[in-house]
């Protein structure tokens, strides 16, 4: 057997990346050391509980809104040809994922602050939606385009289907796994969003304070609370993502 040194080098590099990413995620559980009682206590802390409630509820609302808006957006980008379509797609999907969230938070503060939306729960939703929804839009658009390539939409129409039938009986059932994947990534991104939320919605306990803002504000003065909140957030995110993946696999 001849040794393929190049392949060996690639595999070593890949393993190094895997180990680095795993440590980056799991180190928090090591960092907490023997202070697990702090984590348990944090679960009963009013401020932490509030942040968990705001984070989770807003992430689910953002996930739902993202799917609801991803479907028409994906339909438009898949089935309509118009001038500037590529630019619209960039603004809708690519830019929000690369645009500095803190800047978008400021934009929203200037835009919606004057109508009294700043520092409210709705502000949390608006801020998180901008940076998270593109994941759902991207998944939906890619899947709709794949289905269009198969010509199943044309066949459905030849059988008398209207747009509502094509969407409800072909596009959505065949995209369900991708929409679920888009929802789960949107949810996870929304859970972790900090900058836009902090600038536009602030950090009012039981109103706009989320886990990331709580961690940011307590990291210097109360690191135990920050670590405990981080562990709770991380555990929730890992559990949720694995659950979504499990559901998606069952639907396959």
Partner 1 sequence: MKGLYVQNVTKCYGDVKALDQVELAVNPAEFMVVMGPSGCGKTTLLLVILGALSPDKGHIWINERDVEELPLNERNIGYVPQDFGLFPHLNVHENIAFGLRVRKHSEEKIRERVNQLLHIVDLEGLESRKPKELSAGQRQRVALARALATDPYVLLLDEPLSNIDEATKAEVRANLKEIQKKTKVTTLCVTHNPEDSFQLGERIAIMYSGRIIQCDTPQNILEKPKNELIRKLVAPMYILWKNDSARK
Residues interacting with partner 1, by CB under 8 A?
Answer: 150-152, 154-162, 165, 169-170, 173-174
Please say whether the beta carbons of 108 and 127 come within 8 A: yes
Cβ proximity to partner 1: between 172 and 236 the closer is 172
CA dihedral of 59, 127, 188, 40, whole degrees rounded to 10: -70
55, exposed or middle or buried, with CB in 10 Å at 0-12, 13-18, 19+? buried
Q: Name the minimum Å distance from CB 51 to partner 1.
A: 41
Q: Name the minimum Å distance from CB 249 to partner 1.
A: 16
Q: Name the minimum Å distance from CB 155 to partner 1.
A: 4
Q: Name the minimum Å distance from CB 166 to partner 1.
A: 9
Provide the H-helix boundaries in 151-171.
Answer: 152-158, 163-165
Cβ proximity to partner 1: between 37 and 150 the closer is 150
Token digits of residue 14: 């890949």
Cβ proximity to partner 1: between 47 and 165 the closer is 165
**137 Cβ contact list (under 8 Å, min separation 6):** 66, 69, 70, 73, 74, 92, 93, 182
Token digits of residue 76: 């438009």
Cβ proximity to partner 1: between 127 and 179 the closer is 179
**241 Cβ contact list (under 8 Å, min separation 6):** 184, 188
Cα Rg of the chain (Å, integer): 22
CA atoms within 13 A on the CB side of 58: 33
Q: Name the minimum Å distance from CB 81 to partner 1.
A: 13
Q: Name the minimum Å distance from CB 188 to partner 1.
A: 27
Distance of CA 119 to the CA centre of its chain: 21
Cβ proximity to partner 1: between 116 and 151 the closer is 151
Q: Name the minimum Å distance from CB 186 to partner 1.
A: 24
Cβ proximity to partner 1: between 34 and 149 the closer is 149
């Amino acid at each position: 057997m001849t040794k393929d040194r190049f392949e060996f080098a690639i595999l070593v590099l890949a393993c190094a990346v895997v180990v680095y990413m795993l440590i980056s995620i799991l180190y928090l559980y090591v960092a907490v050391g023997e202070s697990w009682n702090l984590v348990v206590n944090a679960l009963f802390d009013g401020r932490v509980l509030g942040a968990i409630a705001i984070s989770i509820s807003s992430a689910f609302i953002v996930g739902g809104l993202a799917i609801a808006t991803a479907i028409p957006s994906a339909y438009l980008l898949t089935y309509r040809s118009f001038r500037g379509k590529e630019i619209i797609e960039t603004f809708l999907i690519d830019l929000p994922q690369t645009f500095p969230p803190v800047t978008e938070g400021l934009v929203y503060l200037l835009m919606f602050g004057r109508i009294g939306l700043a520092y409210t729960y709705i502000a949390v939703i608006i801020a998180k939606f901008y940076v998270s929804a593109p994941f759902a839009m991207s998944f939906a658009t890619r899947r709709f385009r794949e289905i269009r390539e198969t010509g199943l939409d044309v066949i459905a129409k030849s059988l008398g289907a209207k747009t509502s039938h094509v969407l409800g009986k072909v596009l959505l059932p065949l995209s369900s796994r991708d929409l679920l994947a888009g929802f789960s990534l949107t949810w996870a991104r929304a859970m972790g969003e900090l900058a836009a939320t902090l600038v536009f919605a602030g950090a009012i306990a039981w109103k706009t304070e989320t886990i990331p803002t709580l961690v940011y504000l307590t990291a210097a003065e109360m690191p135990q609370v920050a670590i405990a909140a981080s562990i709770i957030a991380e555990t929730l995110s890992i559990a949720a993502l694995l659950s979504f993946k499990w559901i998606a696999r069952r639907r396959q």
